[in-house]
Amino acid sequence: MEALKKNPAWKGRRGPVVLVIMDGVGYGKYKEGDAVADSKMNHLDSIRAKSPHTRLKAHGKAVGLPSDAEMGNSEVGHNAMGCGRVFSQGAALVSASIKSGGLFRGQAWKDITANVTGGAALHFIGLFSDGNVHSHLDHLKAMIVQAKKEGVKKVRVHILFDGRDVGETSALEYVDPFEVFLKEQNTDGFDGRIASGGGRMWITMDRYGADWTMVERGWKTHVLGEGRQFATAREAVETYRKEIPGVIDQDLKEFVIAKNGQPVGAINDGDSVVYFNFRGDRALEITAAFEEENFDKFDRIKRPRVVYAGMMEYDGDLHVPRRYLVSPPAIDRTMGEYLAATGVRSLAISETQKYGHVTYFFNGNRSGKFSEDLEDYEEIKSDVVPFEQRPWMKCAEITDRVLTAIASGKFDFIRLNYPNGDMVGHTGVYQAVVCSMESMDLQLGRLAGAVDKAGGIMVITADHGNSDDMYEHGKNGDVLRKEDGSPKAKTSHSLNPVPCLIYDPEYKGEYLNAPLDKSLREGLGISSIAATCIELLGYTPPEDYDPPVLNFN
């Protein structure tokens, strides 16, 4: 690994560069439900008023996801910030894994296929289209073909009609060719069939806990084999279209394919199940129904003993699902590796909830240090209580340690993560989120004082939004409300941009060419954080890194 070259235009400051990642803190789109804007963030506001700043993209294509309709998350966000480039995630990653055969060499696939013995079945559940936002039929077909090659004899497919990412009444354009595909596979004792289905907005694919009855209907349909019976999926579609004039695919009612009055594909003990959507937001609830022991959202009636896997890890914070087919991308030449090769002394610190994010994910999904001599990693143990009961989390303890590190003069680069905005944001408890934001803000004030004294620079940013979007909103922007009139809580990440502030108390005109509020480059993503920090340390970023936000004179 080559060392970074010194930047002839900038030699850095006498103190360290401190990268502060405010996990889950963005600029909200709506006034109602923006707990960040609703909090007294006096220190952050003061820092912003005297610092160059801009907004960075932290979702969709800016972090390697297939479309800008997809929320960012802590894993891809820290990948992007620590690696300085955008690596494929989601659809592109799954396609590449199938093409290379990596998916089929993985332990999760081996577990799924090895479990299917005797008369047991391998079940696939997912969005039945090639829209490539949540899933792609090519992925499903490739897995069925491979399963047959590996000796699996019985496959059942539970299809969720799309009508959103593809034509709104295009269901049969997918059903008919797929039935032909299955017929071609049904040789040499292989038995593949469509077993059940329905529209994505009627069964299974709920998100944010908005309507668990959707998931319950899906469970009864796919798992229990309960529902209106039809001989074929085509018959189900045609029947519902006649009975419900104007119905579009996403709203088609549930159906069960049956023979002689018995469902052909109920899920039983000893079966395996793959949820083949790669996007996480509409995968978490059905995954919970399969995986959680103490599940209380609806009565599952029975929970068959199956080997379950998702296409990808849907929640890296909670590690859901426990088993998934496609691993995170292979990433090289990360910022941490470059800094170690250059002799830069670094500290990475957070509490348990995000410790792996400022280490493992920041380093490109790599465990361990690049240099035992130059790097210190420190984990502050999290409280084992619901986050809304300790909304301040460990931000004060993290700050205590960072203040000591700054004063010691030992480190050139310090990166820390305050989990408050994300972990408390996921609870949906608005008051707790406000408390978490204001607690974190107090720590930003403490950090600014230490940076002042040491003559360092503080870079403040986030990996994605969350606390900035705490209420569900309708298409017209109005807050959606419960029966009692209270707002519906949103517990997921947001699509909002995140801050990037450069707090440099000893600034001498080195890199600004415009007034403070327009001095940093605009339109960039959080992958630009790596090159920005490298420049502030006094080095030239690698040529293929995404550009820094700075404009050096």
Active-site residues, by number, are 74
* Residue that is written with structure tokens 């017929």 in the block: 183
CB atoms within 10 A of CB 377: 16
Cα radius of gyration (the chain): 25
Cα 76 from Cα 17, distance rounded (Å): 23
Under 8 Å between Cβ of 434 and 33:
no
Summary count for the chain: helices (H), strands (E): 16, 17
Cα–Cα distance measured from residue 162 to residue 78, given in angstroms and rounded to the nearest whole number: 32
How many residues can be counted in the chain?
553
Compute φ and ψ for 517, nearest 5 degrees.
-75, -5
CB 236 within 8 A of CB 172: no
Q: Is 163 helix (H, G, I), strand (E, B) or coil?
A: coil
Distance in angstroms (rounded) separating the CA atoms of residues 341 and 243: 68
In the chain, the largest separation of any two C-alpha atoms, in whole Å, equals 82
List of E strands, 296-374: 307-310, 346-351
Q: How far apart are CA 175 and CA 232, in angstroms?
A: 10
- Nearest Cα neighbor of 22 from 5, 49, 43 is 43
Q: In what order do the strands lie in the sheet with 53-56?
A: 53-56, 498-503, 457-461, 17-22, 413-418, 346-351, 375-380
In eight-state DSSP terms, residue 61 is G
Residue type, 313: E
Return the SS3 of 347.
Answer: strand
Token pair, residue 54, equals 């801009």
Judge contact between 456 and 503, C-beta under 8 A: no
Cβ-count burial 358-371 (b if 16+ within 10 Å, e if not): bbbbbbbbbeebbe
Rounded-to-10 torsion of CA 199, 201, 205, 209: -160
CB-based burial, 181-201: b 16+ in 10 Å, e otherwise: bbeebeeeebebbbbbbbbbb
Residue 491 burial by CB count (10 A; 0-12/13-18/19+): exposed, middle or buried? middle
Which candidate, 539, 250, 281, places its Cα nearest to that of 412? 539
> Which helix (H) or strand (E) is 95 found in, with range?
helix 90-100
In whole angstroms, what is the distance from residue 303 CA to residue 398 CA?
Answer: 42
Q: Which residues pair with 375 in a beta bridge?
A: 346
Given a contact cutoff of 8 angstroms between Cβ atoms, the answer to whether 358 and 415 are in contact is yes
